Structure 1
Amino acid sequence: MRAGELLGRTAYDLRGRRLGRVVDVVVRGGWPPQRLRITDVIVAGHWWTRVSGRLIGPELHPSGPWLLRALARVLGRSTRQVSADTVQLRPPVPGFPFGPPAGRDR
Structure 2
Amino acid sequence: MSASAFSLSVAVPAAGFRILSGEPVIGGAQEMQGIVHSFCGHCMSWVFTRFPEVMGEIVNVRSTMLDDTTGLEPFIETCTAEKLDWVTTPAKHSFAHFPAPEEFPALIEEYGRR
TM range (shorter): under 0.3
Structure having the larger proportion of residues in strand:
1
Considering Cα pairs closer than 8 Å and 6+ residues apart, tell me whether 1 or 2 has the greater RCO: 1
* Structure with larger Rg: 1
Normalising by structure 1, we get a TM-score of 0.25
Normalising by structure 2, we get a TM-score of 0.23
